[in-house]
Every structure is written in structure tokens, then in C-alpha cells.
Amino acid sequence: MALHLLHKKDSLMLPLAATLQAVAQTVESCQVCGNWDTQNPCHLCTDGRRDKTILAVVENVADLWAMERAQRFRGLYHVLGGTLSALSDVAPEALRIPSLVDRCRQGGIEEVILALNATIDGQTTAHYVAAALEGLPVRLTRLAQGVPIGGELDYLDEGTLGAALMARLPL
Ligand SMILES: [Zn+2]
């Protein structure tokens, strides 16, 4: 990649360097939700059309963008900045859990959706967050697990198929 950029120094490398510098100078982490944006609080937190009573807790900004691409969620977000991991030595203090508890304490939030990865670290973090929010007047939910759109039962792993059975819906 570096060699390709050097071959196209004027047409590619210098404009890319200028763009990266501009991004580094203007983009910052939202003080409310942890999203990256050129304004702080970010455009999602300040959008009056979004439902401020629902909060989706995600691991990182890439997950927030994935949720936005789905175009189904119209609430607000809280980016944890990672997941608890014994292997990677990520402790609760390293995540934005205290600020999540503060947001829920301030009131106005009725539901917190734990939109975390269906991995061991993601589920460990979900349990920790649920414990941290215990006693607060918010309804805790998590994303459903099951058959993916276009998925064939024959190719599903037993864990996913079992979760889909447990989370079945009336027709
Ligand atoms: Zn924000």
C-alpha cells in the first residue's frame, strides 16, 4: 500500500495525507455517547427527531454505524469503547460504563438495549452492564439471536438454532 501511494504521490498520497490531517484535527469523541463526529455533542445526540427514551449500548463506533445502516433504530447510543476481556486485560474501568449509569440516573431513559456482540466477551460485558444498571428505573433488553435473513436451517450451528427456538415469535 505504501509503495502504491509513493507511485501516485501527487494524485493520491498528498491529498490523502491532507485529508487525514483534517480529520485528525476536526473529529472528536462525543462527550455524551462516544460517537466520532466533527461536532460535540454529535449530530445523533443533538437530533431532535430521535427518541431520547431509548438507548442502545454498543461496543464501538463501527457497531453504531452498523446499527445506523440498518435504519430501524431511532433512539440514542452509548459507545462502551470495548468489551470486558480477561485475555486482553480489559477491566471495567477502561469502558464507559460509569457514564452510562450517570445517563440512566439523570432520568428520561426508559429502555436500554444491550446491542453487544454474541461473543463470550460481549455477553460477559452485557451481564456486567446489566448488574451496573440494576435498581435504576430502566427496562433492559438485548438484541434477539436467531436465524439470519436468507439463512438455511441446515447450515446453522446448534447454539444459534437453539437460541432461535427459544426466541420464537407468534405468526
Ligand atoms: Zn453523541
- Per-residue pLDDT of 91-103, as tens digits, reads 777 899 999 999 9
Report the separation in Å between the CA atom of 44 and the middle of ligand 1, taken as the mean of its atom positions: 6
Angle at 141 between CA 139 and CA 147, to 5 degrees: 160
- Contact yes or no for 67/77 (Cβ under 8 A): yes
Using pLDDT thresholds of 50, 70 and 90, give the confidence band for residue 88: confident
Using pLDDT thresholds of 50, 70 and 90, give the confidence band for residue 8: very high
Alpha helix locations (H) across 90-134? 97-105, 120-132
The helix (run of H) or strand (run of E) holding residue 63 is: helix 61-70
Q: How many helices (H) and strands (E) does the chain have?
A: 6, 6
Report the separation in Å between the CA atom of 155 and the middle of ligand 1, taken as the mean of its atom positions: 39
Query: Is the predicted pLDDT of residue 129 greater than 90, yes or no?
Result: yes
